[in-house]
Structure 1
């Protein structure tokens, strides 16, 4: 179940979820949403075809999970990202 989020927070979570190098863990730290909640939010906020495209894009993508990454230092960090 998703917590109440304002439209600005929803927009930022969607933006971070689309970014290839922003891991789900960063979204959890900044907004308190676990990966399955981010998926639920994306499903709710996007058209079905866009959601399917996003899921195909992030499924198995190493950069979306900190534990699967083969790099840590020198990674890009958005100015809007806290971690």
Structure 2
């Protein structure tokens, strides 16, 4: 099991990016970084501003796309061509 102290700033940034994406499951984060859902939630709580965490948590709670078993599609990843890239926990301009 990874803990926050074992993660590099780049890994923490990537976990936050993956958790923020609606279609990236907690299972995918667990496979890549070894963090369980509650550990991701705790990481988000400590690394984000309280208002941002609250907004993310309300959006994610109960969302079917964040849990592999609840998804109604088997494969595929959608990313809009107009979607902005997230780097350093900040949305970069085009």
Fold match, TM over 0.5? Answer: yes
1:38 aligns with 2:45: no
How far is 1:53 from its partner? 0.2
Higher Cα Rg, which structure: 2
**Structure 1 match to 2:50:** 48
Structure 1 residue 39: Cα displacement: 0.1
- CA distance in structure 2 between the aligned counterparts of 1:13 and 1:33, rounded to whole angstroms: 9
Structure 1 unaligned spans of 5+: 79-83
Count of residues in correspondence between the two structures:
77
Runs of 4+ aligned structure 1 residues displaced above 2 Å come to: none
How far apart are 1:64 and its partner, in Å?
Answer: 0.2
- Higher relative CO (Cα under 8 Å, sequence separation at least 6) belongs to 1
Which structure features the higher share of strand residues? 2
**How far is 1:77 from its partner?**
7.0
Per-residue CA deviation, residues 7-62 of structure 1 (Å, 9 max, x unaligned), is 00000000000000000000000000000000000000000000000000100100
Q: Indicate the residue corresponding to 1:5 in structure 2.
A: 7
Unaligned runs of at least 5 residues, structure 2: 80-94
Q: Equivalences for 1:1-83 in 2 at 5 Å?
A: 3=3, 4-73=6-75, 75-76=76-77
Contact 1:2 1:37 in 2 (8 A): no
Q: What is the TM-score with the length of structure 1 in the denominator?
A: 0.87
